[in-house]
Amino acid sequence: MVIDRKILYYFSLGSFLSLWFCSCEKEKMGVDEKKRIVYSTIEDDMGFEKLPPSKPGEWLYHFREKGQTFEEYKAEVRNIKTEKRSTIYIQPLGTLSEMDKEILDKMREYATIFFFSSAMVNEPISIPEGSFNKNRWQFDANKILLKLEKIKPDDALAYVGVMSEDLYIEGLNFVFGLGSFDKCTGVYSLARYGDDYKIRLKRALKVMTHEMGHILSMNHCIFYRCIMCGSNSLPEADRRPMHLCPVCLEKLEWNIKFDRSERYRRLIDFYKQLGFEEEANFLSNLQSISE
């Protein structure tokens, strides 16, 4: 099968096999000039940390991405929330553990708050036949995604499959997720997130919001430490914050349409309930500065 690299995003960790494909047209500005312009338009960083120069092993050291400004996003976006397409569907695939069933419910609650949209968890369905590779003992993410595209609800802003089994695509050892913003679909695996509930939950929430950002046409962020930054290893992904930076938040606000203060309040309450004190404190400080 030929992969259309213009519409598929791959998120993979391990042995520097991470790949992220996007529609990469020739840029008019260099990275440094683009950063200068973006930073100059933001009067107060309000606690957001600019990305330092990348180090060997980190995502941007190996993948020299040019970033995406707010104006570029508006020109490139393919998936916009409308009255007819406004629901996020989380689709359990196969048999999930009791822990993962609980995590799915938290993913639904978080998606509702983070993306200011209705979200629901569907009844489980079987993992598509023919997607299991017995030689690798893994499931082919491309084959699963093709099935999801055929059964996606008409009103889906995003239709994302979640499973406990390991995923792969040809050429990579494994992937954590695969998403297509043209088809508004994605599939994510929780297989490699560990057995500690709190750590597993945080990683699941991060990969969902990161990949949902891609489904909403956001490229990787190169300006600040942000949930939309690329990651080349699990430790690098763990260092990535749960929040959007000022640039990416503006993209989401333009697309989804929400009240920032209300969104911050709901996120802070959610973080406190889960014991994510660092995240709650960051947004509390941000909200106090913004008001």
As a 3-state breakdown, the chain gives helix, strand, coil percent values, each rounded to 5, of 40, 15, 45
276 in any annotated domain? no
80 in any annotated domain? yes
Q: Work out the mean pLDDT of the chain and round it to a whole number.
A: 87
pLDDT tens digits for range 209-237? 998 998 999 999 999 999 999 887 889 98
Predicted TM-score (pTM) of the model is 0.87
- List, by residue number, the catalytic residues: 211
Look at phi and psi of residue 194 and say left if phi exceeds 0, alpha if psi is from -120 to 50, else beta.
left
37 in any annotated domain? yes
pLDDT tens digits for range 183-216? 899 999 999 999 999 999 999 999 999 989 989 9
% of the chain residues with pLDDT over 90: 68
Specify the pLDDT at position 12: 38
What is the C-alpha separation between 91 and 102, in angstroms, rounded? 14
106 in any annotated domain? yes
240 in any annotated domain? yes
- Average pLDDT, stretch 163-188? 86
The count of structural domains within the chain is: 1
Query: Whole domain around residue 56: which residue ranges?
Result: 8-258
Residue 276 confidence class, pLDDT cut points 50, 70, 90: very high
Residue 209 sits in a domain of what CATH number? 3.40.390.10
Specify the pLDDT at position 169: 86
- Average pLDDT, stretch 5-34? 47
pLDDT tens digits for range 22-55? 333 444 578 888 998 898 888 777 889 999 999 9
288 in any annotated domain? no
Specify the pLDDT at position 94: 95
49 in any annotated domain? yes
DSSP code string of 107-173: HHHHHHHHTTSEEEEPPPBPPPTT-EETTTTEEEHHHHHHHHHHH--TTEEEEEEEESS-EE-TTSS
246 in any annotated domain? yes
